[in-house]
Amino acid sequence: MNLTIFTPTFNRAHLLPNLYRSLQKQSVRNFEWLIVDDGSRDDTKDTIKALQEKSDFPITYIYQQNQGKHIAINTAVKQTLNDFFLIIDSDDEMIENSSDIIWEILPSFLKNQNIAAVCFPRYSDNEKKTKTNKKIEFNQIISNSITLKNEYGVTGEFDYLFKTDILKQYPFPYFAGEKFIKESVIYKRIDRVYKNIYVNHSIVKGEYLEDGLSSNFRKLSENNPKGSALAYLETVNDDRLNFDERKEAFKNYWYFENLSKQNSILKRLLSIKNKDVIFDFILKKLK
């Protein structure tokens, strides 16, 4: 299996052995575990060195100055020579024998050049169910996120097994002084060009930690307004979405642009492809 399992980490040395044990439990272990240390100040390096010494699968360690998870992803994608790329965060675990599931689905994944990723619903041990809004009834479909929502009524969290060569075409943007941007910025760009294979099997389980990105989302967004504005702009300009979704995204886009002070009002307006959300916004301001 030509697979990189990638873990970005920052001051999470105490969690890495647990993730390692979940990888060790895989019946097929012909993968590389690539770890990008995003400027940790704990004993991450020594912890990984100890794991490397006893592991029967390759573990690659890369250190970078603290720049955020999205830049760590860029670093890993540039580094890897493997054809497939799966992100598993340091506070997650790989479900036992998930590598078998990946191996089984690879033939159909490989033969279709229009498919960017296989998407597996995230599983919650605490809730004893997938982190989707409803139970997935289908076994496997080829779709994009919009069709998944509109035709199948499914939304939620998925883990993406990407073709690496496609990820290489979509690096995360860099904003000086900012260390966070929603991963959906890139996923949405890919989603407009390619389709995915959505399956009803989970391969990763995890929960939100109090010090995790998800639990601090609003604060992170406000501390990184340029990336946040871009994330909402991607939604505003996605003409596959309905007007209400784009209108709500526009309000958030404008809010974060005001925080960032990076673009003039004219430049902001010109960045909006479909002007209907602008007219709606102006009319409400005039009332």
Residue with tokens 């919650």: 124
Q: According to the model, what pLDDT value does residue 4 have? A: 97
Cβ partners under 8 Å of residue 182, min gap 6: 227, 228, 231
- 204-224 residue pLDDT tens: 998 865 555 555 788 899 999
CA atoms within 13 A on the CB side of 69: 21
Cβ partners under 8 Å of residue 248, min gap 6: none
Residue with tokens 């496609």: 166
Q: 121: which strand partners?
A: 158
Mind listing the domains of the chain with CATH numbers?
3-215 (3.90.550.10), 224-286 (no CATH)
Give residue 30's pLDDT band: very low, low, confident or very high (50, 70, 90).
confident
Give residue 109's pLDDT band: very low, low, confident or very high (50, 70, 90).
confident
Q: Tell me the torsion sign for CA atoms 108, 112, 114, 117.
A: positive
Backbone angles phi, psi at 112, to 5 degrees: -110, 110
Specify burial of residue 27 (Cβ count, 10 A radius: 0-12, 13-18, 19+).
Answer: exposed
**This prediction's pTM:** 0.93
Asked if pLDDT for residue 285 goes beyond 70, the answer is no
Amino acid at position 163, single letter: K
Amino acid at position 269, single letter: L
61 SS3 class: strand
Cβ partners under 8 Å of residue 130, min gap 6: 121, 122, 123, 124, 136, 156, 202
